[in-house]
Chains A and B, each alone.
Chain A
Amino acid sequence: MKIPYYPGCTLNTVAKGFETSAKESSKTLGFELEELKGWNCCGATFPLTPDNTMALTAPAKVLAHAKAAGDGNKVTTLCSVCYNVLKRTNHVFKEDKARREVINSFIEESYEGELDVVHYLEVLRDTIGFDKVKEAVTRPLAGVKVAAYYGCMLLRPHEEVAIDDHESPTIIEDLMTALGADAVDFPQKIECCGAHLSMDRTDVVEKLSGNVMSSAVENGAELIVTSCPLCQYNLEKSQERTTVEVSGYKAVPIIYFTQLLGLALGQTDEMAGLKDNEWDARPLLKEKGV
């Protein structure tokens, strides 16, 4: 089974381990992520105002190409932001005929919202099944206390994009449990990391990301997983200051959920891209005997 796959800019550059671990895991689980040819940037943010139609042309082109590339049913992506932008743009194409016609005429396509935009987590849960993932585990993550950090883009706005309950999601924890890890719940798991404020308000990013990490660690986390390259970046960049400012806080690795998936399915540390993370997860995994 091949599933059309949109990587987005970051997975080819600063988040390579996110992609390599996911691609290899897919093969182990019996499907293939087939990268779209000639893809373009999704725009990295869905416009929150309805009269900003021009911003939808980039993601619309991605969707039109994805429809032509595969079986015309679905497209998947790993990055939470790409998922949010593509899913919301698809919603506009399904629900708003007037805007659809304007965008189609501009980009010279005839896309009508036929695809389902699904996150890789949804493929694992709904197409493969977490029970099948569990059966494929050869290196259980026993004893590793993992906090699942969702952030915003997998969950909001809930009526359009939520891959799970938008206030109390468990999809990543359910996957971690299937991999043999101990999933840790924490109250800040759906809060924002500060997002694009990393451009001009690093003080705010450090506060917000610090709140997320200290909440996770207070609740016992030894490692945090995410599916968003911007969350991963903001958390990593904020960790030093959090270590200084939050009494008792001890830095933890912040990695992508697919890196743990890959390890549990038998990938080497190199294949899972563990050497690229600023806070190395390997000593913790070694300590746990993984």
Chain B
Amino acid sequence: MKLKLSGREINSASMEHLERVSGEDAKKCYQCGNCSAGCPVSYEMDMNPSEIIRFLQFGKIDDAMAANSMWVCVGCLQCYSRCPKGVSAASILEGLRQLTLRKGQDHDEVKDLPVEFIKKAPQQAIVSGFRKFVS
């Protein structure tokens, strides 16, 4: 894959915004891949956690936002637990989710939830699901 890099993208306002929201500096990552190796859901992601971080290091926030990765991340923090540089890929993915949800772009529609799930699931599943998927 070829990427055209530009200083304008790497230092863009969107990247600064993501850093502020997530509290994470993607540039600290040296791409060892421990996060992706430990991530239980990387097999389902368009881009695994270390790929998301790599794209962000190049300022390619639109590509990171277009991937399904932020919606699949469960926030289990195995990535952070095993990162030698103390980077939380989960926080970066939550930052991307927050940027999307704060624009009112919900990932799930409450009306689409199965009745069986609402009746039987522990409340924490519903509350945390709403927090992750609905603005």
Min Cβ gap B108→A in Å is 5
A81 pairs with B76, CB closer than 8 A? no
Tell me whether B90 and A48 are in contact (CB under 8 A). yes
**Which partner residue on chain B sits nearest A45 by CB separation?**
B128
Chain A residue nearest in CB terms to B88: A48
Stretch at the interface among B18-26, B27-35, B48-56: B18-26
Contact of B98 among A49, A197, A199 (CB under 8 A): A49
Task: For the complex formed, measure the closest distance between the CB of B100 and the CB atoms of chain A, giving whole angstroms.
Answer: 13
Q: A10-B122, A81-B124 are in contact. Are A196 and B132 (CB under 8 A)?
A: yes
Known: A52-B98, A199-B108. A157 touches B77 (CB 8 A): yes
Of residues 18 through 72 on chain B, the ones whose CB sits less than 8 Å from some CB of chain A are: 20-23, 40-41, 44, 72
Q: Does A47 contact B122, Cβ atoms closer than 8 Å?
A: no
Report chain A residues within 8 Å CB of B22.
49-50
**Residues of A contacting B90 with CB < 8 Å?**
48
Is A44 a contact partner of B133 (Cβ separation < 8 A)?
Answer: no
A194 at the interface (CB under 8 A from B): yes
Residue of A nearest to B86 (CB): A159
Residue of B nearest to A156 (CB): B77
Residues of chain B within 8 A (CB-CB) of A194 are: 74
Find chain B residues with CB under 8 A from A229 CB. 122, 124
- With a cutoff of 8 Å between Cβ atoms, the chain B residues found around residue A197 in the complex are 41, 72, 74
Chain A positions 136 through 166: 1 when the CB is less than 8 Å from some CB of chain B, otherwise 0 = 0000000000000000100011100000001
How far apart are B52's CB and chain A's nearest CB, in angstroms? Answer: 14
Residues of A within 8 A of B75 (CB): 45, 48, 152, 195
Report whether B91 and A44 are in contact in the complex, using a CB–CB cutoff of 8 Å: no
Q: Which residue of B lies closest to A231 (CB)?
A: B122
Which of chain A's residues have a CB closer than 8 A to the CB of B72?
197, 201, 204
Are B21 and A157 neighbours in the complex by a CB distance under 8 Å?
no
B13 interface contact, C-beta 8 A: no
- The reply to whether B95 and A49 form a contact with Cβ atoms under 8 Å apart is yes
> A51 contacts which chain B residues (CB < 8 A)?
20-21, 23
Chain B residues within an 8 Å CB radius of A201: 44, 72
Nearest CB in chain A to that of B99: its residue? A49
Interface string of A5-25 (1 = CB under 8 A from B): 000111001110000000000
B contact patch SS: helix
Residues of A close to B44: CB separation below 8 A: 201, 204
A196 B128 Cβ-Cβ under 8 A = yes
Q: Is the CB of B41 within 8 A of A156?
A: no
Interface residues of B in 88-135 (CB under 8 A from A): 88, 90-91, 94-95, 98, 107-108, 113, 117, 120-129, 131-133
- A48, B122: Cβ atoms closer than 8 Å: no
The residues of B that contact A156 with a CB separation of less than 8 Å are 76-78, 80-81
**Which A158-217 residues have C-beta < 8 A from chain B?**
158, 166-167, 191-192, 194-201, 204, 208, 211
Distance A79 CA – B21 CA, assembled complex (angstroms): 29
Given the known A-B contacts A51-B23, A201-B72, are A41 and B123 also in contact in the complex, defined by CB atoms under 8 Å? yes
Q: Establish whether residues A196 and B125, one from each chain, have CB atoms under 8 Å apart when the complex forms.
A: yes
Closest partner residue, chain A, to B41 (CB atom): A204
With a cutoff of 8 Å between Cβ atoms, the chain A residues found around residue B40 in the complex are: 191-192, 208, 211
CA–CA, A230 and B88, complex, Å: 23
Chain A residues with Cβ under 8 A from B94's Cβ? Answer: 47-49
Contact B23 A45 (CB under 8 A): no
* 9 closest Cβ pairs, A-B complex: A199-B129, A44-B127, A192-B76, A156-B77, A45-B128, A9-B123, A48-B94, A50-B23, A44-B124
Residues of chain A whose beta carbon lies under 8 Å from any beta carbon of chain B: 8-10, 13-15, 41, 43-45, 47-52, 55, 79, 81, 152, 156-158, 166-167, 191-192, 194-201, 204, 208, 211, 229-230, 233
**What would 13 A/B residue contacts be, using CB atoms closer than 8 Å?**
A44-B123, A48-B90, A49-B95, A52-B98, A81-B128, A152-B77, A157-B77, A157-B80, A196-B132, A200-B107, A200-B133, A204-B41, A204-B72
